[in-house]
Structure 1
Amino acid sequence: MSTAQNLSFVLEGIHKVKFEDRPVPEIQNPHDVIINVKFTGICGSDVHYWEHGAIGNFIVKDPMVLGHESAGIISKVGSAVKSLKVGDRVAMEPGISCRRCEPCKAGKYNLCENMQFAATPPYDGTLAKYYVLPEDFCYKLPENLTLQEGALMEPLSVAVHIVRQAGVTPGQSVVVFGAGPVGLLCCAVATAFGASKVIAVDIQQQRLDFAKEYATTSTFMPGKVSAIENAERLRSENGLSAGADVAIDASGAEPSVHTGIHVLRNGGTYVQGGMGRSEIQFPIMAACSKELNIKGSFRYGSGDYKLAVNLVASGKVDVKKLITGTVKFEEAEEAFTQVKAGKGIKTLIAGIDE
């Protein structure tokens, strides 16, 4: 492996991975840069492809490099690149939009009709020694941010987008369902945005214990009762007699969706960030009678990565606490096994030295 030019971690099929020396990418567009990838986090979607070979209509038909939560060091720049130079440390935004379709032109490039997203079939991911990106999808890390923190800008940007979709403002009460990495980061961003009450909901006590120490005012474990009863207890325990201002689901679990709708005040805002089953039952009467604002949230859009970097650089959000450990590149599959087993919060895979 030491002689490999661009060693990559490739998914061939369900639970079938290999290390492969892929060609070193070349700069095709003068605005592109080549990054020597240094750290990559493992996301639930990566594990899902490894476990099932597909997510919805996205099916792994050909060998695909995994990974999309990465940071690295610029090793080469195109002739038109102005904002970056060789040696710069950057967080990598892993989805390249076409810039030409209606969503792109409307400023919603995360909804691009021709998105090329890393580690989403048929596009290769970032778990390789080198990766190529346009310069405007790379975010220079301030001196006080490590490359490990840079790898967490991707999930943090997801959380930033969710909380911005919710329109969280100072003094509001926010309930976040799911205390995994994105849910925890939603709690942290809501706190940074000035929410006065941030309540994390989960069915695992160890996650709630971490959430309480991390970025919440309180936590809540649902009982084996109806969603309405859980919502009533959640409101009662947290002084939310009229209901919460904002509910965010980062779990994708149907009971959380129901409880989230019922816990909101009249005119409150509900944002669906977690993905579960493609179809679920939904408390439509409660949503209508309360005249709720209901929104979806998908990846991240304009300004989200920049804000994520600023939140960490300014000390308003701490992502270091989420890093459970780091494994060597050659032990990448072990990281997937750890994540699948629910060990820790965020496991990073170290890159290969130059």
Structure 2
Amino acid sequence: MKAAVLHGYDEKLTAPDFVTYEDVPEPQIRNPTDVIVRIGGAGVCRTDLHIIEGVWRSKVDLKFPHIMGHENAGWIEEVGSAVTHLKKGDPVICHPLITSGHCLACRRGDDMHAEESEFPGINCNGGYAELLRTGARSIIKLPKSLAPKDVAPHTDAGLTAYRAAKKASRHLLPGQFAVVIGAGGLGHIGIQVLRAMCAARIIIVDRADMALQLAQECGADFAVKADGSELDEVMRLTGGKGAEAVIDFVGEGDAVAKGLAMTRDGGYYYIVGYGGKIDIPTIDMITSEKTIVGNLVGTYPELIELMALADQGKVTLATREYRLDEANAALHDLHHGKVRGRAVLIP
């Protein structure tokens, strides 16, 4: 089969080609619960750029050659002997993690903290290819209204945004404020989830005019340009008190400090993007009683919930399609901020 293959790190992201389009062996059924999916769409994520940079080296023992791609949807091609609820041709979306189902975290539905797991595209071969091996526990059948190429990025970008926005929506009341920092691939989804699940007023902060326009199309009430004055503008909009919830999809640079400053006393700061550091004096934590919440993708049930919102037309993805052999163009466009929403590779 054809795949876009990573053969080594590029710490400065300066190479003209990050991956090589080449022939590789097809994945095989290894376990009775394995499933082979024919890829209909594979999302291109900023995490893929971080993998290329080597940011994940401390977390993952990556072996080259490696096939990236952890946002996958398509059609069932083959199933293991123990899989009875799926058949060839079923349109499906894949939860990003392959789990055994045996550990306590799995039994509680806390997929991302499973003791026995594989993460296609991260620590094993992913969906930048024609075929993907995953597990039956990871598969969700798609309704007829949703095509694999249109929803593939929901398996990470959508699921991560959904999990954070769902947490925030549980305590946001009508008339209160939610700030979303970053209206790109994740942020434009988070806005729609907030709009679907609560009545808070939504303020979006981004430095790109393209992203701000997309945010307003997705339901943001206020669009604030990140030009150095964004903290003052958010405080003005919130009456000088800050927002009850701030969801930070950037998580680096000065976004972290400003995000915490935008969070009102007793409010919640949800950190999703990574690369930066949280530095706050303990006395400020005590006197402000702010809550800092980390977010790591999401659970299988949450992906089902997100697909329900997508099926109802309440959450839609802004996507730009690339052929699989255009993976380098997609990665470079993402790196240089040229992608509106999410990039999707289609074999």
Give the deviation of 1:31 after TM superposition.
2.6
The secondary structure found in structure 1 opposite 2:32 is: coil
Residue of structure 1 equivalent to 2:42? 40
Aligned to 1:313: 311
Query: Is 1:185 matched up with 2:183?
Result: no
**Contact 2:267–2:290, Cα closer than 8 Å, also in 1:** yes
What TM-score do you get using the length of structure 2 for normalisation?
A: 0.88
Counterparts of 1:61 and 1:135, CA distance in 2: 25
- Kindly report which structure 2 residues correspond to 1:1-354, keeping only aligned pairs within 5 A, or say none: 6-13=1-8, 14=10, 15=15, 16-50=18-52, 52-57=53-58, 58=60, 60-121=62-123, 123-154=124-155, 155-166=157-168, 167-169=170-172, 171=174, 172-224=176-228, 230-236=230-236, 238-277=237-276, 279-282=277-280, 284-319=282-317, 322-323=318-319, 325-345=320-340, 346-351=342-347
Q: CA deviation at 1:232?
A: 4.4
Residues 1:344 and 1:217: Cα distance change in structure 2 (over 3 Å): same
- Equivalents in 2 of 1:114, 1:63: separation in Å? 23
Q: How far does residue 102 in structure 1 lie from its aligned partner after superposition?
A: 4.5
In 2, Cα distance between equivalents of 1:169 and 1:339: 32
Q: So what's the TM-score if we normalise by structure 1?
A: 0.87
**2: CA distance, partners of 1:336 / 1:222:** 24
Is the Cα contact below 8 Å between 1:165 and 1:295 reproduced in 2? Answer: no
Query: Post-superposition shift, 1:283?
Result: 5.5
Letter in 2 for 1:261: L
**Alpha-carbon separation, structure 1, partners of 2:241 and 2:251:** 25
Task: Tell me if structure 2 keeps the 8 A contact 1:38–1:147.
Answer: yes
Change (3 A) 1:184 1:271: same
User: Structure 2 CA distance, aligned partners of 1:61 and 1:102?
Assistant: 29
Task: Provide Cα deviations, 1:145-179, integer angstroms capped at 9, x if missing partner.
Answer: 12222212221111111123333545242101112
Matched letter for residue 207 of structure 2 = I
The unaligned stretches of length 5 or more in structure 2 are: none
Query: Distance in 2 between the 1:170 and 1:313 partners?
Result: 26
Measure the CA separation in 1 of the matches of 2:274 and 2:85: 35
Q: 1:256 to 1:203 in 2, by over 3 A?
A: same
Q: Decide which moves more: 11-20 or 30-39.
A: 11-20
Aligned-partner SS, 2:216: helix
Cα RMSD after superposing both structures: 2.2
What is the identity, as a one-letter code, of the residue corresponding to 2:141?
A: K
Change (3 A) 1:288 1:149: farther
2: CA distance, partners of 1:287 / 1:254: 21
Aligned counterparts of 1:285 and 1:115: Cα–Cα separation in 2: 39
For the 8 Å contact 2:153–2:344, the answer to whether it is kept is no
Q: Is the 8 A contact 1:168 1:193 kept in 2?
A: no
Percent identical: 29
Distance 2:19 2:262 in 1: 43
The one-letter amino acid paired with 1:152 is P
1-side partners of 2:337 and 2:143: how far apart? Answer: 32
Aligned pair in 2 of structure 1 residues 270, 212: CA closer, same or farther (>3 Å)? same
Q: Aligned letter for 1:336?
A: L
Q: Give yes or no for contact 1:174–1:195 (8 Å, CA) kept in 2.
A: no
Task: Name the residue aligned to 1:3.
Answer: none
Task: Give 3-state SS (helix, strand or coil) of 1:235's partner.
Answer: helix
8 A contact 2:138–2:300 mirrored in 1: no
Q: What are structure 1's unaligned runs of at least 5 residues?
A: 1-5
The residue type equivalent to 1:198 in the other structure is I
- Separation in 2, partners of 1:42, 1:89: 20
Cα offset, 1:183, TM superposition: 1.5
8 Å contact kept, 1:53–1:60: no
Q: Report the alpha carbon displacement of residue 209 of structure 1 after superposing the two structures with TM.
A: 2.1
Query: How has the CA–CA distance of structure 1 residues 223 and 332 changed in structure 2, closer, same or farther, with 3 Å as cutoff?
Result: closer
1:33/1:195 CA distance change after superposition, 3 Å: same
Cα pair 1:168 1:195 within 8 Å, conserved: no
* Aligned counterparts of 2:44 and 2:234: Cα–Cα separation in 1: 32
Structure 1 Cα separation of the partners of residues 152 and 126 of structure 2? 14
